[in-house]
Structure 1
Amino acid sequence: MTATRSGPTTAGQGGTGHADRVFRVQEALSRLGPGAHRLSAIARAADLDDSTTSRILQSGVYRGHFERPSRGRYQLGGRVAELALHAYARHDSDSVLAVLQQLRARTDGGMALHYTLTPGVQPGRQCAEMAVGDSDLEEFGMSPREVLAITRSLRVGASGRTILAYLPEAVQCRAQHEPIPPQAGRGAIHNPVALAASLAAIRDHGYALGYEECMDGWNTIAAPTFAGVAIQGAVLLLRPARLMPRAPRPYITATKTAAAAISRMHAS
């Protein structure tokens, strides 16, 4: 027999009935972290009984807010990421640009970009804002089409992997077996097991490093941006490998600080 919690499940505990319970389940999944979790663990974290939690999760799976990758286990779904993008659209682009310009100043003129998640059957990323001074795509030695083909994928690049690290496990598994764009750099991670390990490291440390991963001759640092509890995008610092053969700690800190500032905009 499945154990249930005896805690209250009605509106009397600071909520408004069913809507309050739904939000508690979503927040519980966020607190439990990436990956799928057992129904009983979600119910405990939400302070609800198993039966109520199960009904909410099953309804959420139908609507795309939750996913059930295996029997009895649930995680946040792609619909949550879509809502995060709508939240981002409300914010002033000039404020994001100011953060990126400050990052550029703190990293000796590095290129600073903010990528946002593009949800869908095959999630991707797009550059929403950038502070790059007088630089242009010709510096990469590629056509604009080739650069966009690489940076759209979450499979390759520090910013792509940073976003991917906080998406549902099912999305990560699909991405691990996607083909790597042919224009990718010599540092692209080809082994799916190594890619999965890199995603875990990103969640542990809060940033990613890319060494000639998207493009030969360019190294990168990325940190995640969030809209509430959902991954929204990533801040990327881009510098020539000859100028940044290894990522200095102050550059990593500056990138994480910029990402945190943008996340606070979404929370306000």
Structure 2
Amino acid sequence: MDHGTSSVSRTVAVLRAMRRLGPGAHSLGAIAAQADLPLATAHRYVQALVTERALTRRGPRGRYALAEAPYVPFEPGREPAKTPTSLGVTAVRNELTALQARTGHIALAYVPLLIGRPLRVHAEQALGGHARSLDAAPRAALEALWRAPLETDASGWVILANLGDHAAGRPQLARIRDQGHAIGPTPLFGHDAIAAPLWRGRTVAGSVSLLVRHAELHDEVVRARLAGAVMDTAARLSGYLTHPGPSTSSAL
């Protein structure tokens, strides 16, 4: 098996094990058994997820729990409040964490806010080791990354392209709808987004985006690999949103 794919599979296995074990903190042995991994392997992946702040370590006995909220490296009040359209699905954070681990890039999820001027609004994120660099970005860029009109960037384009007849007479949106993803500049200088739509049944429910330095996307092989990873994640999350189970239930 490809090493990268194996790493992703083990990361996802640990996250799914945590979800199946339910709320609260769990022992490493219970996590390893539920993930069907050797204890040493489970320990390595659990520690990596603690470093990525997807899991937290609790108590002197080293029990582990899913992080109660995604880490946001901004002062209080700088992140937009969650809207009633928030995805509210634990699987979203888990899949974003796996996408970030697989690619090494910031992974984000957005939802549409279609009151007044249509917006794309940040719902969840997996920052990995990029938290400090993102925190150092200009405030205006961060605010636009968090919330902006759908026309702003690829994260909104993939939503707009699948809203009713918005793509009619607009070749760029029609192409995005046909290709299933979009690539374009973001509010963060020097970074592009690779985005794919999220679906709840036949209704577009948001987007998944990967923030990548523009220079890295000059390589066609890299572009194709990262676009495939984003679309795979979007497809899995669309399945969760369309057929939510007890552990992936949404407030919507």
For normalisation by structure 1, the TM-score amounts to: 0.52
Uncovered stretches (5+) of structure 2, i.e. residues with no partner: 1-82, 244-252
Indicate conservation of the 8 Å contact 1:137/1:143, yes or no: no
1:138 CA drift (Å): 4.8
SS state at 1:121 partner? coil
1:216 CA drift (Å): 2.8
Indicate conservation of the 8 Å contact 1:88/1:266, yes or no: no
- Which of 133, 156, 160 matches 1:160? 156
The equivalent of 1:258 in structure 2 is 233
Alpha-carbon spacing, 1:141–1:116, altered in 2? closer, same or farther (3 Å): same
Uncovered stretches (5+) of structure 1, i.e. residues with no partner: 1-84, 174-192
For normalisation by structure 2, the TM-score amounts to: 0.55
- Which of 109, 116, 125 matches 1:114? 109
Q: Distance in 2 between matches of 1:222 and 1:253?
A: 10
Alpha-carbon spacing, 1:88–1:215, altered in 2? closer, same or farther (3 Å): closer
Indicate conservation of the 8 Å contact 2:110/2:122, yes or no: yes
1:1-268 maps to which residues of 2 (within 5 A)? 89=87, 91-92=88-89, 94-107=90-103, 109-136=104-131, 138-139=133-134, 142-149=137-144, 151-169=147-165, 196-210=170-184, 212-246=185-219, 247-268=222-243
Indicate conservation of the 8 Å contact 2:157/2:182, yes or no: yes
| CA-to-aligned-CA distance 1:8-48 (integer Å, 9 cap, x gap) | xxxxxxxxxxxxxxxxxxxxxxxxxxxxxxxxxxxxxxxxx
Q: Distance in 1 between matches of 2:134 and 2:94?
A: 23
Alpha-carbon spacing, 1:141–1:155, altered in 2? closer, same or farther (3 Å): farther
The equivalent of 2:25 in structure 1 is none
Aligned length: 158
Q: Distance in 2 between matches of 1:223 and 1:137?
A: 26
SS state at 2:151 partner? coil
Alpha-carbon spacing, 1:166–1:264, altered in 2? closer, same or farther (3 Å): same
1:153 CA drift (Å): 1.5
Q: Distance in 1 between matches of 2:242 and 2:86?
A: 10
Q: Distance in 2 between matches of 1:100 and 1:259?
A: 10
Q: Distance in 2 between matches of 1:267 and 1:228?
A: 5
Q: Distance in 2 between matches of 1:230 and 1:136?
A: 32
Q: Distance in 2 between matches of 1:110 and 1:98?
A: 15
- The alignment's C-alpha RMSD in Å is 2.7
Q: Distance in 2 between matches of 1:222 and 1:124?
A: 15
The letter of the residue matching 1:110 is: H
